[in-house]
Structure 1
Amino acid sequence: MGIQIAPSILSADFANLERDIAAVANADWLHVDVMDGHFVPNLTLGLPVLERLAQVSPVPIDAHLMIEDPDHWAPRYAEAGAASVTFHFEAARDAKAIARDIKRLGARASVALKPGTPVEAVLDDLREFDMVLVMTVEPGFGGQSFMPDMMSKVRTLRDHAHAEQHDLWIQTDGGISRDTIETVARSGGDVFVAGSAVYGAPDPAAEVTALRDLARAACHG
């Protein structure tokens, strides 16, 4: 699939979501952060809002569930229209079963790792997942600074996926911008969540293109 850009609506104008979603119609995904105020200290939106967003978005929905009990909730987001559902390893009782439930419903299954969670936690079951999200900030709030030491996780995941001949997508989320995206791309990341970098730009669509071009150039440099 190559380099993919997923603007995060956490940095959009919640009073004008449809407008701001349309502004990034050239993106590959629309990243929707679902937070419950328990797993992370922030509260955003849930199933009814995501279901409606999926109906109006010009690009597929990439749901990032920062919530407790993903064993119960994650499949419901696939049913609500998310084309990719990411749940946190730290919140899951049975990560493999969740991934299989998501895929059975026709969505891509992804597992996310907080900065303090070792990458080894998912290596034995890597083929169960379509994507691994490496958090490059502590989850919960947008606008945080990128953590470059997380690149060792990205490199390890890419090496293991290559060794297993597994077409694994590696997503990064947190502090992704023109200043950091090349570092991630060179480390093996290929799906980039960008919130404030995109929605803080004068032209969000142009910023999506600029980020994609920088990542592609870094991969081939």
Structure 2
Amino acid sequence: MTTGFCEAPLAAADLQTRETLVAWFRRTAPHLSVGLMAADAMAYGASVKTLEEAGVNILHYDVMDGVFCPSMTSGAGLVKATRTRMLKDVHLMVKDALDHIPAIVAAGADIVHVHCEGAVHLHRALVALDTPVAGHEGGRKILRSVALNPGTPIEMLRPVLHQLEMVTFLAVDPGWGGGAPDEVLAGKINTFRKMAQEAGVEPLISIDGGIKAQTYPIAAAMKPDMIVSGSAVFKDGQTIADNLAELTRGA
């Protein structure tokens, strides 16, 4: 028997500034970011409504260009078209994020992940993201995240540690299946935490890839602030609410 999905609600005060949003993430971590690309593309609107009713706070968009990774998906147009109270969490799996950032910012993204492997000018991409969320009257800025593929060393992050609010650790290579959070990923995250502490910063940590009911507790034990999952939430045979409960009950 499943228990209900429980997520800390977002209050107006949590959305006032970048700092208050970061504090909300830390307060009751880990938070679940649900990947919309795993839903039925012909029923995105219904899926978004159901996720809101279930108490989900963060909606994840995988933007793939077919160059950086094999697949191609929707981009800024879908992000902008989504009418939702959920935070818009955009993962840019593209050749050069700078080419996509203006449209993603205009679409109202709240969180944007850029890959250091695909960024020709990573620092410039983070500078371009140091901007208010479009349509947010209070001027809250976008949370900037750098995403790392499984084979990418954390040393790639050292030069930009003071320019980001989040780091996303992928357990699966972008565009491919298989893989899951494991002891190698846990070691990588622990090493990063030591590096960040030495630098006097504490970015939020997100884990993405291979997250299902069996692996969610493994990821949660690594104490991230956010966990991304899509297919486990939209799998056939159960309602979205039941899938959410099944996914998180073991953590």
TM-score bracket relative to the smaller structure: 0.7 to 0.9
1:73 maps to what in 2? Answer: 100
Give the gaps of 5 or more residues in structure 2. Answer: 1-24, 133-140
2:215 maps to what in 1? Answer: 180
1:219 maps to what in 2? Answer: none
Contact 2:92 2:115 in 1 (8 A): yes
Mapped to 1, the partners of 2:167 and 2:245 lie a distance apart of 23
- Cα distance change, pair 177–162 in 1 and its aligned pair in 2 (3 A): farther
Report deviation, 1:210: 5.0
- Superposed, which structure 2 residues align to 1:1-221 within 5 Å? 1=25, 2-25=29-52, 26-53=55-82, 56-105=83-132, 106-141=141-176, 144-148=178-182, 149-200=184-235, 202-209=238-245, 211-212=247-248, 214-215=250-251
Identical residues among aligned pairs (%): 29
Report deviation, 1:156: 2.0
Alignment deviations for residues 46-81 of structure 1 (CA, whole Å, 9 cap, x no partner) = 22122102xx12301100011112123224312211
Give the gaps of 5 or more residues in structure 1. Answer: 216-221
Mapped to 2, the partners of 1:4 and 1:162 lie a distance apart of 22
- Cα distance change, pair 24–144 in 1 and its aligned pair in 2 (3 A): farther
What letter is aligned with 1:203? T
What letter is aligned with 2:210? G
Mapped to 1, the partners of 2:212 and 2:170 lie a distance apart of 14
Mapped to 2, the partners of 1:35 and 1:98 lie a distance apart of 17
Report deviation, 1:161: 3.5
Contact 2:232 2:247 in 1 (8 A): no
Indicate the structure with greater helix content: 1
Q: Judge which range, 174-183 or 155-164, deviates more.
A: 155-164
What letter is aligned with 1:205? A
Rg comparison, structure with higher value: 2
